[in-house]
Amino acid sequence: MTAIVAPPHMFRVVVAAGGTGGHIFPAVAVVEQLELLTNGACSTIFLGSTGRMEASLIPKLGYQYVPMPINGFKGLSLSTLSLPFNVLASIRIAHNVIRKQKPHAVICTGAYVSYPVGIAAMLQRIPLIVLESNLNPGKTNARLAPRARAVVLAFEESLDFYPKKMESKLHILGNPVRMQIKTETSQGCARLLFGLKEDVPTVLVFGGSLGSRTINAEIERLLPVIAGRPWQVLWQTGKGYIPAVALPDNVRVVPFLDDMGSAYAAADVVVSRSGATTIAELGIVGKPAILIPLPSASTNEQQHNASVVAKNGGARVVADASLPESLLTTIDGIMNSPAQRTFMSMSMIALGKPNAAADCAKLVLQCGGWQGGVT
């Protein structure tokens, strides 16, 4: 796809985001706020890979999208031989988009798709803003951050991962969350939306858009026990997963949650992975959590994220390998103690940064030297 050049009066931005929703949705959240702050005078071009979710998701959201041939390193194979050529081709594509778009700023959210875009921005001396959603920087962001104009951090504890000389460019603004996560739905009404009982305490279980094999397996194993509990479960399994046993009356299964705001509103406690987007959303909705870090995360970022939330009192952490021994007792402990849930909820709210997307957008406008006025 050839990028459409924006008029000169627009605030122009190029965004690299892809691989997972954890990289895509924070970028979209910032762009949404850029559009608001400039009264619609914002032109955005996204760059990403050819075969990942961003290639279909970004155009569906109405944004220009330019694909690059870059792919992540997947171990030694024949495709590894083409990796350097794909990187160079991707840098060339990013360079051409930036040259034509003449952006005020370039935003990179991490993962391999950010590398060629960040390099192209540096070569053309365009202000680069790096968004780091996790506690510890990913491999690409760690390489780009020293040359960036600004680095947005989600956690104060993230400062420990950067040298002192970078302190002036580090901004602890939180992880941007899209406006759609907010909901005015009451807890009772939210429960009815999912076929749950309006007045019964609720546990929300999910493992991301694709679900989690180990979390699903443990919940399925526990179904006979859950049937006798005084609480109910809203269980997002991911597409393609069908429990092999009959569901008790107090369990509702959905393959995918299109309305996360209502799902959070229905819950008293959330059981989930500890990806950066989930952590940010929990801070906004103020829900106690049982976090199960993904053990295969590339830089152990989910364990780092979960540890910070637990240290601040908003969550309990259960290791993936310890689910059979610990998950049910941990749920019971929290569900049987309203006082504990209240404390955890207040702790989670204290961690939340609901204005992260707007604050980040203002920083992008500042770095880009925007003179058009901010609403």
- Average pLDDT over all residues of the chain: 92
The answer to whether residues 201 and 321 belong to one domain is: yes
Q: Are 153 and 80 in a shared domain?
A: yes
Residue-wise pLDDT tens digits, 171-200: 999 999 987 676 678 999 999 999 999 999
Residue 364's pLDDT is 98
Burial 81-101 (b: 16+ CB within 10 A, else e): eebeebbeebbebbbebbeeb
Give the 3-state DSSP-derived string for the chain, with helices as H, strands as E and coil as C.
CCCCCCCCCCEEEEEECCCCHHHHHHHHHHHHHHHHHCCCCEEEEEEEECCCCHHHHHHHCCCEEEEECCCCCCCCCHHHHHHHHHHHHHHHHHHHHHHHHCCCEEEECCCCCHHHHHHHHHHCCCCEEEEECCCCCCHHHHHHHHHCCEEEECCHHHHHHCCHHHHHHEEECCCCCCHHHCCCCCHHHHHHHCCCCCCCCEEEEECCCCCCHHHHHHHHHHHHHHCCCCCEEEEECCCCCCCCCCCCCCEEEECCCCCHHHHHHHCCEEEECCCHHHHHHHHHHCCCEEECCCCCCCCCHHHHHHHHHHHCCCEEECCHHHHHHHHHHHHHHHHCCHHHHHHHHHHHHHHCCCCHHHHHHHHHHHHCCCCCCCC
Pair (23, 81) in one structural domain: yes
| Residue 23 domain-assigned (yes or no) | yes
Query: Do residues 188 and 237 both lie within one domain?
Result: yes
pLDDT tens figures, 252-277 = 999 999 899 999 999 999 999 999 99
pLDDT at res. 296: 81
Reply yes or no on whether the pLDDT at 348 is more than 80.
yes
CATH of the domain at 35: 3.40.50.2000
The listed range with the strongest mean pLDDT (258-262, 339-343, 369-373) is 339-343
Give a yes or no: residue 106 inside a domain.
yes
Residues 205 and 127 both lie in one domain: no
Residue 150 lies in a domain: yes
Range with the lowest mean pLDDT among 32-36, 76-80, 150-154? Answer: 76-80
Q: How far apart, in whole angstroms, are the C-alpha atoms of residue 162 and residue 136?
A: 9
List, in order, residues 6 or more apart from 81 with CB less than 8 Å away: none
Q: Flag whether 290 is in a domain.
A: yes
162 plus 18 within the same structural domain: yes
The domain tally of the chain equals 2
Q: What is the pTM of this model?
A: 0.88
| 361 and 330 both lie in a single domain | no
pLDDT of residue 19: 83
Interatomic CA distance for residues 331 and 323, integer angstroms: 11
pLDDT at 375 over 60: no
Structural domain containing residue 16: 11-177+354-367
Give dist(CA 238, CA 213) in Å, integer: 9
More confident residue, 86 or 250: 250
Residues 203/269, Cβ–Cβ less than 8 Å:
yes
Residue 295 within a domain: yes
Same domain? 194 vs 339: yes
Alpha carbon 161 to its chain's center = 20
How far is the C-alpha of 126 from the C-alpha of 315, rounded, in Å? Answer: 40
Looking at the structure, tell me whether residues 205 and 99 fall in a common domain: no
The answer to whether residue 4 sits within a structural domain is no
Pick from 73-77, 151-155, 235-239, 305-309: least confident: 73-77
The torsion of the CA quartet 213, 219, 221, 225, rounded to 10 degrees, works out to 180
Within a domain: residue 337? Answer: yes
156 and 228 part of one domain: no
Is residue 206 predicted with pLDDT exceeding 60?
yes
Same domain for 156 and 225? no
Which residue(s) pair with 14 in the sheet? 45, 106
User: Domain check: are 204 and 146 in the same one?
Assistant: no
pLDDT band per the 50, 70, 90 thresholds, residue 1: low
Residue 302 lies in a domain: yes
Residues 162/345, Cβ–Cβ less than 8 Å: no
Distance CA 140, CA 199 (A): 47
